[in-house]
Structure 1
Amino acid sequence: MLPLFLLFVVSDGFASEVSTVQPLILTVSSLSRETVSSVVPVDREVQIHVHEEFDRIALYDSNPQGQTREPIYVVPAEHIETGFIETNVSLGNPEFPQGWSLNSQADGGERAVPGEHCLPVWVAGFRDKKIVYTDCLKIHPTWMQDNKLFIGNLDVRSLLIPGTHNSGCYKRGDKLSLRDTIGRYILTQDQSVWNQLVYGIRYLDFRIGYYPPKENTSITDDHESRFWINHDLIKVRPFASVLGQIKKFIERSTNEVVIMDLHRFPIGFNMREERHTAFVSYLERELKEYAIPFTPSTLTLDKIWTTPGRLIISYGENSIAQTKDWLWPPIKQLWGNKGTVQDLEEFISKIVANDSLQSTDKGLWAAMAQLTPGPLELLFNPKGSLREMAHKVNPNLMRWCQRSHWWRKLRIVPTDFFMETDIVNLAINANVIKGHQDTRYETD
């Protein structure tokens, strides 16, 4: 299905200024809160961004069009004009529809259906007591394939790619636990890697640690359990479990291109080349058949789709990356290390203004859209957390991308608690516009 904005693009002859903003946008808060009725904190509460005037706005658990349904939440009239509403409706951890849950195809179960699909959270905008606009929270498991005709001509280095920062640092279970809330500066996501990919994320950022077994520090063929995903010096979960999710997604989605950035190796690798060798051997055995060979030349999605590869593997140590043709050089992460939203906005605006980054010769790069906690924040703010910091940044990031048209020049945009942004929808729309504009220039 064509995005709504595309009708405007086509009829206006590829107008130079195109709005990708929908009248009502649903996101999911990064915050968690305790309740008096439960020892389990509540998280994933739905947010509504309002970009047009409505008499009434309500949430439903299914499509309200053509049905007489009671809403699950009604926005108070005095809040409609604020432009941003935080509700107490939790998305929870819904089963993905149309075969996109992780274990859907086990034992011959439901096959995955391409396309975007709605979760059971819908928003409706009313005027004169009639519904004039509806939308839902969606998964976008095949957005590259869905838009193949529009974006196939684009170089992979020119795409706007929705990403996550420290992608493997997500909460430990189906529900937020007290243990999770204690790790205020460890967890950066609240969705598994599988879920991230199904929602539409296409850039994954990992830090890898090596932990030798206590009884034997030598490297053997059975070393998978020694590689962990870290948040800097703290190990979070085994890499093997995440790798399995990536492989399964690539196999099920067929035409989605995923970028895996093995960005740093903070524990166990320093001055130990044999451990890099063991890790690369493990990657080669598990992932080489999915890997896209590195090339400095133009590499369009159309060209990728004629090959078996669907995974770009970037290795953070360039000397190691150069030893294998299926490893890509390190991806440059542009960090502002800023502690305030205003300073972060200024930093990203400078990235956007740097025309030299627009050349595909610069390779893959990422504008890191996070605040960085300083020592005082860590020591003296007992209520501070990465969730709080993401909550300050994420709604602003979307406004910056829309208002200043940053989406035209940004490339990979990794976020914390990505569901509090509309980055996937923004990327889909932006890439379709880019693809049409490139086609126009080629035919003029």
Structure 2
Amino acid sequence: MFLCCLVFFCCNLPLLIYACPIYLTISLDGKTLQDANLEVNWGPECHEHPEWIGIFSEDPTTSYVQPEARITDIRNSSGKVVSDVKIGKLRFPRGWNINDVNVVPIEYPKGKCLSYYVASFNGSELLTVECLKIQPNWMSKLEHIAQMPLKDLFIPGTHASAAYVTNLTKTKSVLVKDYVIAQRMDVWSQLVFGVRYLDLSIGFDRVANTYDTSNTDNFFIVNENKFVQPLRGVLREVKHFVKVSHEIVILDFSSFPIGFYKHPERHSSLWHLLHEEFGDIVYIRNTSTNVEVKQCYELTIDEIKKNNKYIIILYPVQELPYPESESKILCPNWKRFSTAFMNTSEALDYMRLLFSKKNSSPVQNEGWVFEAVRSMEQSLNNDKLETAKERATVLNPKVTSWLKGPWSLTANVVALDYFGNTNLIDVSIYANMHKAFNMANKNFINFEIVST
């Protein structure tokens, strides 16, 4: 049994190379998510090329169906092709749709395929099969990771997580469509797919609700200095998800670009909103002088969930007045690193520095967030103001490809814009499986057997 596990984790990469791994992502073309096309990806290091790859609406291993699209002439060791197959309306299994009521969702320890499959063939010989899948329970079900501190996990996340519009077709502003929106899926769908870290920038709108004396409904999600949507609805999506999934979610209140400067009382009002929405499910830090106080990134999943808690809130506590500044429901922000103002080669060099964790690296034994994003200002260096989608189309696949090597084993939080055009969730799950295996067998001694 141990030998099988050892072969899986130590030899998984070579096996995948010879099998030519394939997977599906969602392209960033089309005006809306429903209009987007499926992308077929293969590699890296795909040396034994299949003759053709097909996209199917059913599992080709269990039913005979004709492909909805065929891709041939596969020559490069890695590649991506945008198919003619549109994603359409995403339909999750019962219980995993945000409006499902009085339905206990089924747990999916290994994920659940949606009706989008990709398979590779030599002639009629089936080689490999993958699917576009949700991973609503991955963190709770991966063996051994519950005993690992958060800083040692690869946690998939999104940048500007709530910068989306539910009905983009009704949005008339080109600025909002092209530069403010950073995600196609709402927060609920991101979490169902497997995202476990949410990056939130908050603004205070003085005219949003002048009759609300508590000011708790004046808080809005902000991106690119524009109000996007009310914060409270986003918080309730998170609360609903963790209560049905029992997964850990990290909320990082990373910036406050509008309405907070020289207004500490607004931070206090926001604290009251967070306490109101998450009071029964947010982790409460133990600050007793009788025990060794752990940083939040040192906590394990088991420790967090011990008293049915599921939310970790990262917040710049120094912005809060006393006594909220000493609140036990808030954790100090983790270190943050971003490629926002870098070109592709600079981003690669920066990742090499960060993920090496050498003495020269600013990342050591702590919690940290890597944001693989590119700013509007950086796109101007290319003599063209690229949209958020265009920037993500270029950067996301490169970053996730670089993370498929040894860097995945040193990653902590990785946050992307438009995460759906990558397989970030699977990359993080495989990395955490490897990390957990190493942790569970760290005391294993390899005795060499010598024949006499």
Do these two structures clear the TM 0.5 threshold for a shared fold by scoring above it? yes
Kindly indicate whether the alpha-carbon contact (under 8 Å) linking 2:216 and 2:269 is maintained by their aligned counterparts in 1.
Answer: no
**Is residue 2:213 matched to residue 1:220?**
yes
**Is residue 2:24 matched to residue 1:29?**
no
The DSSP-based 3-state class of the residue aligned with 2:28 is coil
CA distance in structure 2 between the partners assigned to 1:79 and 1:18 by the alignment = 20
**CA-to-aligned-CA distance 1:189-248 (integer Å, 9 cap, x gap):** 10000000000000000000011237848x613x33200000042100000111110000
Q: Residue type of the partner of 2:310? A: R
What's the counterpart of residue 303 of structure 2? 303
What's the counterpart of residue 3 of structure 1? none
Structure 2 counterpart of 1:369, from 338, 362, 372: 372
**Is residue 2:131 matched to residue 1:136?**
yes
What's the counterpart of residue 197 of structure 1? 191
Which TM-score applies when normalising by structure 2? Answer: 0.85
CA distance in structure 1 between the partners assigned to 2:208 and 2:430 by the alignment = 51
Q: Residue type of the partner of 1:406? A: W
**Is residue 2:275 matched to residue 1:284?**
yes
What's the counterpart of residue 121 of structure 1? 116
CA distance in structure 2 between the partners assigned to 1:174 and 1:133 by the alignment = 36
What's the counterpart of residue 250 of structure 1? 242
Q: Residue type of the partner of 2:178? A: R
What's the counterpart of residue 417 of structure 2? 416
Kindly indicate whether the alpha-carbon contact (under 8 Å) linking 1:30 and 1:43 is maintained by their aligned counterparts in 2.
Answer: no
The DSSP-based 3-state class of the residue aligned with 1:220 is coil
What is the CA RMSD across the aligned residues, in angstroms?
2.9
Q: Residue type of the partner of 2:357? A: N
Mean CA deviation greater in 161-170 or 322-331? 322-331
Kindly indicate whether the alpha-carbon contact (under 8 Å) linking 2:373 and 2:417 is maintained by their aligned counterparts in 1.
Answer: yes
Output aligned runs, 1:201-212, within 5 Å: 201-212=195-206
The DSSP-based 3-state class of the residue aligned with 1:290 is coil
Output aligned runs, 1:317-332, within 5 Å: 317-320=317-320, 322-332=325-335
What's the counterpart of residue 100 of structure 1? 96
What's the counterpart of residue 390 of structure 1? 392
CA distance in structure 2 between the partners assigned to 1:358 and 1:231 by the alignment = 27
What's the counterpart of residue 238 of structure 1? 230
CA distance in structure 1 between the partners assigned to 2:327 and 2:444 by the alignment = 38
Give the unaligned 5+ runs of structure 1: 1-5, 34-39
CA distance in structure 2 between the partners assigned to 1:412 and 1:214 by the alignment = 33
Give the unaligned 5+ runs of structure 2: 286-293, 446-452
CA distance in structure 2 between the partners assigned to 1:190 and 1:121 by the alignment = 18
**CA-to-aligned-CA distance 1:57-100 (integer Å, 9 cap, x gap):** 10011111242212111113367876322212121331111421
What's the counterpart of residue 68 of structure 2? 72
Kindly indicate whether the alpha-carbon contact (under 8 Å) linking 1:164 and 1:201 is maintained by their aligned counterparts in 2.
Answer: yes
**CA-to-aligned-CA distance 1:95-153 (integer Å, 9 cap, x gap):** 1114211112x2x3463433311111101111231222111100000001121x23122
Q: Residue type of the partner of 1:74? A: R
**Relative to 1, partners in 2 of residues 1:175 and 1:118: Cα closer, same or farther, differing over 3 Å?**
farther
Identical aligned residues as a percent? 24
Kindly indicate whether the alpha-carbon contact (under 8 Å) linking 2:260 and 2:266 is maintained by their aligned counterparts in 1.
Answer: yes
Which TM-score applies when normalising by structure 1? Answer: 0.87
The structural deviation recorded for 1:308 is 1.7
What's the counterpart of residue 430 of structure 2? 429
Output aligned runs, 1:81-96, within 5 Å: 83-96=79-92
CA distance in structure 1 between the partners assigned to 2:202 and 2:265 by the alignment = 15
**CA-to-aligned-CA distance 1:392-415 (integer Å, 9 cap, x gap):** 011111221124x21011110000
What's the counterpart of residue 401 of structure 1? 403
Q: Residue type of the partner of 1:193? A: V
**Relative to 1, partners in 2 of residues 1:7 and 1:64: Cα closer, same or farther, differing over 3 Å?**
farther
**Relative to 1, partners in 2 of residues 1:379 and 1:57: Cα closer, same or farther, differing over 3 Å?**
closer
CA distance in structure 1 between the partners assigned to 2:348 and 2:74 by the alignment = 30
**Relative to 1, partners in 2 of residues 1:406 and 1:260: Cα closer, same or farther, differing over 3 Å?**
same
What's the counterpart of residue 265 of structure 2? 274
CA distance in structure 1 between the partners assigned to 2:257 and 2:432 by the alignment = 34
**Relative to 1, partners in 2 of residues 1:15 and 1:134: Cα closer, same or farther, differing over 3 Å?**
closer
CA distance in structure 2 between the partners assigned to 1:26 and 1:7 by the alignment = 32
Q: Residue type of the partner of 2:345? A: Q
CA distance in structure 1 between the partners assigned to 2:435 and 2:378 by the alignment = 41
CA distance in structure 2 between the partners assigned to 1:164 and 1:41 by the alignment = 17
Kindly indicate whether the alpha-carbon contact (under 8 Å) linking 1:344 and 1:371 is maintained by their aligned counterparts in 2.
Answer: no
Kindly indicate whether the alpha-carbon contact (under 8 Å) linking 1:124 and 1:132 is maintained by their aligned counterparts in 2.
Answer: yes
Kindly indicate whether the alpha-carbon contact (under 8 Å) linking 2:55 and 2:117 is maintained by their aligned counterparts in 1.
Answer: yes
Kindly indicate whether the alpha-carbon contact (under 8 Å) linking 2:341 and 2:378 is maintained by their aligned counterparts in 1.
Answer: no
Kindly indicate whether the alpha-carbon contact (under 8 Å) linking 1:167 and 1:193 is maintained by their aligned counterparts in 2.
Answer: yes
